[in-house]
Every structure is written in C-alpha cells, then in structure tokens.
Amino acid sequence: MPAEPALRQPPKSSAKDSPAIRSHDMATTAKMTAGVLGVLALAIGLWYARTAILLAFAGILLAIVLYGASRALAEFTKLPRLLMLAAVVLLVALFFAVVFVAAGPTLTQQVAGLARGIAAGATTLTKELAAFADQANLLQNVDPVQMLSGFLSPWGIATGATSVALSIVGLFSAGLIVLFFGIYFAADPHTYAKLVARLAPEKQRAATVEMMYETGDLLRRWLIGQGISMALIGSFTYIGLLILGVPIAFVLALFAGLAGFLPYLGPIIGAIPMVLVAGGESFHLALMGSMR
C-alpha cells in the first residue's frame, strides 16, 4: 500500500507545539483513554450482570403492584401502609398455597393418565406411520425434538432433562429474588428514589426524583392495563374450560392468565398444562382444550 508510510508520518509540528502544551495534551489524552476504558469495563460488567439487572427491574414492577395495592388498602382501612403491605403479601402467598395444594393431586393424576394414554396412542400412531413410511420416506429425517429445540433456542429456552431441571431451579431462585426485591422496594420506595438521585449532580437532583416518580407512574398505568388483559385471558379461559368440563379449571385458567404476561410464548406455555390435564381425560378433550 503506497499510502501507508505517509499516514504513519507524525503531523507537521507548528510553532505553538511547545513541550508544555504537548504534556498537557498527553494528560488530557490519558484521562480520556482512562474514561473510555472505564465506560467499557462498566459496560462489560453490566453485560455479565444482565440477568440480575433484569430481575431487579422485574422486582421494581412487582414493587409498583404491591405498593399500589397496599396504599389503596391503607386508604380504605385507615391502617398503616406497611401493615397492609404485609397483609397483601401474606394473602397472595396464602392464595397460591391453597390453590396449588388443592390442585396438586388432580394435576399429577391427570398427567399420569395422559402418559398412559400417550403410550397407547403412540403405539397405534407408530404402526400407522410405519405403514405410511412404506409408501413415502418423508418423515424419516424429521426429528421433532431437534426441531423444537431449534425453534426455542433463540429465546434462551434450553431443552433436555438436565437443563430443564436446572432452569426450574433457576426459575425458582429468580422468582425468590424478584419477590424479595419487590417487597423491599414496596416497603420504602422513597429511600431508593433518593439514593439513586444522589448519583445525579446536585442541581439535577430534584428533576431526577421527579423523573423517577413519573417513570413509576407510567409503569403503574402500564401494569394496570396488563393486569386487565391477564384477568380477561384468565376469566375467558376459565369459562371455556368449565364449558368443556376440564378438571381443575380454575388453576389452569390462573396459570394461563399469569403466562399471559409473556408476549407470544405466554399463550403457548399457558396451554401446555391445559392440554396435559385434558389429555388425562381423553385425547378429544385435549384437542378441544388446545383450541381454546
């Protein structure tokens, strides 16, 4: 390359390029380099902690719900807000405990029934497929498990028995982290808002606090909308399952409503236990259930 040597030449030094100015320039350059490196190091650190940060954000969302509920209750009952926060958390925990204790036996029974049904159904299906395969070798190269994992892996869903067990443990601990974040934030949100505001320059602190409360208000309104949507999904699913006569309709509808928080995949995930439980009754019901 002919241009290379010319580029490597140092720029023509002018008259004001005295040693003092040059050392000043070097100090500035060193400071800027250190700044850029610091920002990069921070970015790398944040990237490695991305799951924790997202879980903290989920905790803030939970805190907004808990705070709103406890404040509304405190205004209604004229009791201290912290007491009402404890009441809200305990009531929700009790609700879920009762629902799952009541539904647990039916759930395992139905899934076991389905497993037997699938074993019987799979035998007939394999026979029919074998007969079909004599005419066409179309299905030979299709591996449904591989296809599914290929579809799900971009979303970070691991497949395989070990990773399922791992992700269940991970899901449980993530849920606990979000729960505790939510409770602590909801107990005393103003302390955390002030703490974050201290990071801002003194002149900007009032505006920073105002900005955070405005963000909280926006998220609160979004969460109300999301709550309405999830409640509608749950209610309509419950009515549909009652009409079909699927057992433990309430738990299944509750799960479908909660899964409705997740876009795109939520409705599919919500339908899985429904199909499993309905499949314990009959395959016809499972098909109907999957069409809800």
Partner 1 sequence: MPPAVVILSQLVLGAIFGLLGLALATPLVAAATVPLRFLFGIGGKDRASAN
CB of residue 182 vs partner 1: minimum separation in angstroms? 14
Is 102 an interacting residue with respect to partner 1 (CB under 8 A)? Answer: no
Is 176 an interacting residue with respect to partner 1 (CB under 8 A)? Answer: no
x-or-dash string of contact with partner 1, 237-266, rule CB under 8 A: ------------------------xxxxx-
Residue with smaller CB distance to partner 1, 74 or 196: 196
x-or-dash string of contact with partner 1, 20-59, rule CB under 8 A: ------------------------------xx--xx-xx-
Is 173 an interacting residue with respect to partner 1 (CB under 8 A)? Answer: no
Is 61 an interacting residue with respect to partner 1 (CB under 8 A)? Answer: yes
Residue with smaller CB distance to partner 1, 100 or 222: 222
CB of residue 221 vs partner 1: minimum separation in angstroms? 9
Is 223 an interacting residue with respect to partner 1 (CB under 8 A)? Answer: yes
Is 12 an interacting residue with respect to partner 1 (CB under 8 A)? Answer: no
Residue 276 to residues 105, 113, 238, Cα–Cα distance (Å): 14, 9, 16
Can you tell me the distance from the alpha carbon of 137 to that of 262, in angstroms, rounded to the nearest whole number? 38
Among 219, 236, 247, 258, binds partner 1 (CB under 8 A): 219
Is 215 an interacting residue with respect to partner 1 (CB under 8 A)? Answer: yes
Residue with smaller CB distance to partner 1, 117 or 267: 267
Catalog residues that contact partner 1 under the rule CB under 8 A.
50-51, 54-55, 57-58, 61, 154-157, 207, 210-211, 214-215, 218-219, 222-223, 261-265
